Structures are given as structure tokens and as C-alpha cells.
Amino acid sequence: MSYYVPVIVLGGLAAFFAIFSLVMGALSGPKRWNRAKLEAYECGIEPTRQPAGIRFPVKYYLTAMLFIVFDIEIIFLYPWAVAFDRLGVFGLVEMVTFVATVLVAYAYVWRRGGLEWD
């Protein structure tokens, strides 16, 4: 049970911070209501409506997808880096295989123009 104490403490801290921020914001912050503030997804400006049926570029999705691929790669690299001496040659071979497959995907994106913004 004692192993869960840090988790519970961390959860308590997180909950305290969330509640504290909301309460303090509501109590001490200035309140100046306007149209932008009352939007469902408020970000400080009033949204402009797009004309229906037009296509607009969403180039960032490729960058985002690539980021996720490398993010996952790092997640797998961490535990390997901690225990690479005990995993030995097997671990090295498997990790090189894994990194190489990700590299292939990267080469494909690069060669097919996925990294060009315009």
C-alpha cells in the first residue's frame, strides 16, 4: 500500500492546484464580460465564419503526425537506454531494427515532399 502513497500525494497536489486556481481566479480576477468572452470556445477573439465548401490547407497535420512517430520512438528508447547493457547484442539489434523502420518512414516523407511547408 505504501507504494501508492506518492501517487495519492501527487493526485492530491494536482487536485488542490486545479481547485485552488479556479477558486482564486473566480475570487480575485477582474470580470469584464464581452462577446468574445461568452463564446463556447473562448480564445480572446470573435471567430469569423468560413464560407461553406472551400478547402483550406491543414499542413500542420503532417508535422504533427511525424512528431508523434518520433515521440513514440523516444518512449521506446528510454527503457532500452536504461537497460541496454543487460539486454546486450539482442537489444541493440532490435533497437536498430526499430529505429531503421522509423527512419524509412522519415525518408519517405522527406522524399515525397511532406516536409515542404509551401
Task: Report the interface residues with other proteins, using CB under 8 A.
Answer: 3, 55, 86-88, 90, 94, 101, 104-105, 107-108, 110-112
d(CA 117, CA 3): 48
> Minimum distance from CB of 107 to other proteins (Å)?
5
CB of 35 to other proteins, least distance (A): 36
Q: Which is nearer to other proteins, 30 or 53 (CB)?
A: 53
- Smallest gap from Cβ 34 to other proteins, in A, equals 40
DSSP 73-90: HHHHHHHHHHHHHHHHHH
